Amino acid sequence: MSLPVEISPNPLLRSTVEIRFSINIDRAKLFSIVYPAFASQFPIFEENKVPKELRKISPEFRFAPDYILKNDDFSLSFSSNLVAFENISEYKYWRNYFPFIKGQLSTFFQLNIIEKISRIGVRYASLFEGKNRIDEVLNFMPGIPVDEYEQTFSLIRLDLKKRYYNFHVQLANNAQAIKGNKPISGAYIDIDGSFSGQQSPSSEIFMLIDELHTEGKKIFFEKLIKPSFLETLNPKYE
């Protein structure tokens, strides 16, 4: 099955690519090494407002970045254990996003501060505004048969594995979010793909990122989305 390269209206809330690693330098030197390499391309600088003490003790914030660099289209976030990328304007699609990621990661790798890479992640979360019943969107309706009880679907989380890739999938009815400074609600699909296993910085990382993206798209378009609903999203193919 050919996979769409675009759908409209675009339901994406986030499109994150993240690399987790250990470093071979003193953490105190990290900013002075990384920032100059990216400052000209990302003129907007932010520091994480969550206190460092909380990030040290809370699992929720363990992999939160210390610093965020932005331009009009993308962000690059980093700390001593990760670097992550995100579309911050309208989604630029993989044909543009992936070359951007490859270029920035190549620069990051050339800093020679990464000791070992422990996880590669590609996460895409979508919300279909106005579709508050997820059975309008999905190929199937998740549930557990319970006699004599009316069942209402709210939220389900499941983990899928294919070869050495893992995908954490979340599906929700009537989810709430902010998009473009506007509150929206609708059916929610979140696919967080990952490859875990020690790797060294190399071009193989780009191949793994691209494969995670492709496998996540297959789950989304071939396994989850109802074909009749997909046709309403004006899919475009190469």
Q: Are strands 182-199 and 165-179 parallel, antiparallel or unpaired?
A: antiparallel
94 inside domain: yes
Give the C-alpha separation, 94 to 217, whole Å: 11
**Does residue 184 belong to any structural domain of this protein?**
yes
- Residue-range definition of the domain harbouring residue 123: 12-231
Q: Which residues does residue 55 pair with via DSSP β-bridges, in sequence order?
A: none
Residue whose pair of structure tokens reads 């020679």 in the numeric block = 112
Separation of first and last alpha carbons in the chain:
12
pLDDT digits (tens, 9 = 90+) for 139-187: 987 777 788 888 788 888 999 999 899 999 999 988 999 888 889 999 9
The dihedral sign for the CA sequence 142, 186, 162, 23: negative
Helix/strand/coil for 222: helix
236, part of any domain: no
Which of 52-56, 73-77, 124-128, 234-238 has the least mean pLDDT? Answer: 52-56
Residue 70 CB neighbour total at 10 angstroms = 16
- pLDDT one-digit tens code per residue, 188-211: 999 999 999 889 999 999 999 999
Residue 2 located in a structural domain: no
The whole-angstrom separation of Cα 233 and Cα 15 is 19
- Of the pLDDT bands very low, low, confident and very high (cuts 50, 70, 90), residue 54 is low
Is 7 a member of any domain? no
What is the CATH classification number for the domain harbouring 93?
3.30.310
Per residue in 8-48, pLDDT (tens digit) is 999 999 999 999 999 999 999 999 999 999 999 999 999 88
* Number of compact structural domains in the chain: 1
Cis peptide before 9 (omega within 30 of 0): yes
Reply yes or no on whether the pLDDT at 122 is more than 80.
Answer: yes
- Is the torsion defined by CA of 225, 233, 155, 84 positive or negative? positive
Question: Does some domain include residue 197?
Answer: yes
Residue 167 CB contacts under 8 Å (≥ 6 apart), including other chains: 159, 160, 161, 191, 192, 193, 194, 215, 216, 219
The answer to whether residue 1 sits within a structural domain is: no
Q: Are strands 165-179 and 82-87 parallel, antiparallel or unpaired?
A: unpaired
**224 lies in some domain:** yes
Give the CA angle between residues 70, 74, 75 to the nearest 5°. 45
Q: β-strand 114-129 against 12-23: which pairing, if any?
A: antiparallel
